[in-house]
Chain A
């Protein structure tokens, strides 16, 4: 009775985006690469695990492009897809996606001992959602190979880039909001949503009694279980706040070695901040309110 299991696996992988990113129309892997028969006979092909890593990275970047365009829309394709674009520069022009990936993968001091099971929960969880996903036909053999590759990535000693489970979370919620998001432009379901749908996805993440929390918690033993519930509530808020901070910050144009700006930051242009660059002071001293320079009891 492998077929129902394969079906639900297919649905789940599609919902977190990896199936489409790997094998869907415009996917990053040719199906032959995951064909076990080819892999067995062609020693020149890299192992599936090496093929999957860049797929996960590309999927994460695409998903986060969808997030940063949500935080600060601009004239880019992601903003147009969400049907909230703008003629002035936005998050993608500001390098906010790189800001998010760099932060998540290199600086969020998130314990791998937790990232690993969350990632595992996201790829091994069974989605019995009753959501019909159109247009993805995957052969059981390909699915099995993909699964094995994920398992290998998750079990390797290398830290899981945090951007991957974050992208998985956003994509899972995206397909909850709009099942048709498994197909379309871009690589990730989240990036295919409209602005209102993205907001709806965050509403689901922020909701205190989120089904998602229950779904993921199932994978954790106590006392970690309670921690994961709380963590997801934190993550829902933090993704919005940090994407917005990054979009308006100097991240994309700051030369860290000289502590100077290569160009005027997008956030400064949009807000009119520091028209002549950094200052030592301003001529904004008016005086003392009612002329009072000191007070005493």
Chain B
């Protein structure tokens, strides 16, 4: 009998595991995918090796890469970029840690208060969230991003748009700025040389500008795991959870088991109340099933897997909202072509942003060749110059929106991939019941019926569609301002990469799965702590910080309600995840 079982070691689960391990609870952290304990041996810098969604080390599948990935049903042109493995999608993220816009929280009184997704706000105020934001920001740590050539160019464009520079953590109006990110700032030789021999830790500390965020951060070479530049949870929260005894008085290290696919959450009725009692997981390697009981179970498998596990466990869904309300920021993609060097594939993938509440935002994204090609060909608007698939929007970009592919793509990159600047268009998108996870009618896999992710991208709300068009125009304006000779709009088919709110927390029992404490309304002792718990799409900011802040708050609620403890976030100071005590202990553990 454990105190707490956490299902999933992605962006959210390790937060709960670390916080409760620090309080001395007995925590079991189960991860369905691989644990990359030795990245220098297991990883590389190649897109095919890392990012091939079928065979790469960053895929949705078991550790054994000779086995197929896990199949998921997407009944539309789309791509749901799920990752299994310790770290989850933070393994390939860019470390962006903006706070959610205040307008998405209850009690917001700004002049634009009616312009947000007013029916699906967080059930508490922005002010209540701030201490949790600050807690996570101190742990990672979150810092102001260093600037490379592509950021300088992005700012050059932003400077032509008549917007102020944001110099606070909180976003209060349309503005631009360097990202606040969970990337250690460059120190020593980092960012100042391309000579491999000069880029070993500790001569180099923090970000070396290698440009391989999406292939996994294992730099500077020779650094302890918890001092790699990018603060994915496998480099930050997980090491803290596994070493809790050395940095927290009374802490007890969490136990982590990888390749452990949870197939069922068990419940029992206690005094007439349906209560979680434990889980069953399946060992990917042996196929053996294991069962373990716990006082509290936390689902952190992500926006697609949590609903699946819920359905496959036969848990009640009285208001029908399990899996519904999935938000994805309805991205779009804009490519600017320049005469001069842009630095596109170098440095952190995305270190500059423009926020535009209540419409969404923009950020630059540097990509290597194959991902750049993928990004240019994922479209709901056909192929430029050939067909439009009923769309092909025109505007301040060149020609109709659509795939840049074949001869046109070849010509576009022929000048050099470092003469492109690409901008991600982020939409403040509404929670909609129709965008959802259900159980697929396709054959089950070894872990049970598989999830089906449905997005009705052409039938989204008027506000969502309007916001996307607004931000696409702003992206074109920015690229023109930066000096782009040509601007291409792709009109992405849903690329489901920022995922939120499929198990949403809400004030109303009619359209939420979680109550305002993070506990499921239908099953006591069962909590959800990851992006799926978010109440909405946050207005557009990248979700990790808000998700981890909310998971911290949920961990406090678990500790106070089920273990008789006191909250700690407002009364104590956090330990930073780069703490040398953690490094030393990781060394002793061979990690």
Contacts and interface: CB of A to CB of B under 8 A. Distances in A.
Interface of A: 70-73, 84, 86, 88, 90, 103, 106-111, 113-114, 195-196, 199-200, 202-203, 206-208, 223-224, 226-227, 229-231, 233-234, 236-238, 240-242, 244-251, 254, 256, 259, 261, 265, 267-268, 270-274, 278-290, 292-297
A287 B452 CA distance: 45
B196 A84 contact: no
A259 B210 contact: no
A280 B221 contact: yes
B68 A109 contact: yes
B560 interface: no
Contacts of B343: 284
Given A248-B369, A284-B343, A84 B49 contact: no
Nearest to B151: A289
Contacts of B170: 297
Given A73-B407, A282-B210, A284-B343, 11 more contacts: A107-B69, A227-B441, A237-B77, A237-B78, A270-B414, A283-B192, A285-B190, A286-B152, A289-B152, A294-B143, A296-B169
A295 B345 contact: no
B37 interface: no
A229 B75 contact: yes
Interface of B: 44-49, 52, 54-55, 61, 68-71, 73-79, 130, 143-144, 146-149, 151-152, 155, 165-170, 177-178, 180, 185-186, 190-194, 196, 199, 204, 208-211, 219-221, 343, 345-347, 352, 368-374, 376-379, 382-383, 386-387, 389-390, 403, 405-407, 409-410, 413-414, 416-418, 440-443, 445, 452, 454, 493
Contacts of B46: 249-250, 254, 259, 261, 278
16 contacts: A90-B410, A107-B55, A108-B68, A113-B443, A114-B443, A206-B382, A237-B378, A240-B405, A245-B52, A249-B52, A267-B370, A284-B346, A285-B192, A287-B147, A289-B352, A297-B130
A13 to B, nearest CB: 28
B370 A296 contact: no
A203 B387 contact: yes
Given A103-B55, A292-B167, A86 B407 contact: yes
Contacts of B407: 73, 84, 86, 195
A281 B54 contact: no
B147 A279 contact: no
Contact of A296 (B155, B168, B178, B352): B168
A200 B45 CA distance: 37
B479 to A, nearest CB: 18
B65 to A, nearest CB: 9
Contact of B373 (A73, A245, A268): A245
A33 B386 CA distance: 43
B165 A234 contact: no
B449 to A, nearest CB: 12
B73 A279 contact: no
A245 B370 contact: yes
Nearest to A294: B144
B373 A226 contact: no
Q: Is the interface of B mostly helix, strand, loop or mixed?
A: loop
A103 B54 contact: yes
Contacts of B192: 283, 285
Contact of A241 (B144, B169, B377, B418): B377
A259 B44 CA distance: 7
A247 B373 contact: yes
Given A248-B372, A292-B167, A71 B48 contact: no
B54 A107 contact: yes
Across the A-B interface, the 3 shortest Cβ-Cβ residue pairs: A230-B75, A285-B191, A281-B208
Contacts of B74: 230, 234
B387 A267 contact: no
B142 to A, nearest CB: 10
Contacts of A110: 71
Nearest to B146: A285
Given A199-B386, A203-B382, A285-B192, A295 B144 contact: yes
Contacts of B220: 280-281
Nearest to B68: A109
Contact of A224 (B190, B191, B410, B442): B442
A197 to B, nearest CB: 10
A223 B441 contact: yes
A70 to B, nearest CB: 6
A259 B209 contact: no
B521 to A, nearest CB: 29
B199 A281 contact: yes
A256 B43 CA distance: 11
Contacts of A274: 345
A113 B70 CA distance: 15
Given A241-B377, A247-B373, A279 B194 contact: yes
Given A231-B75, A248-B373, A254-B49, A272 B146 contact: no
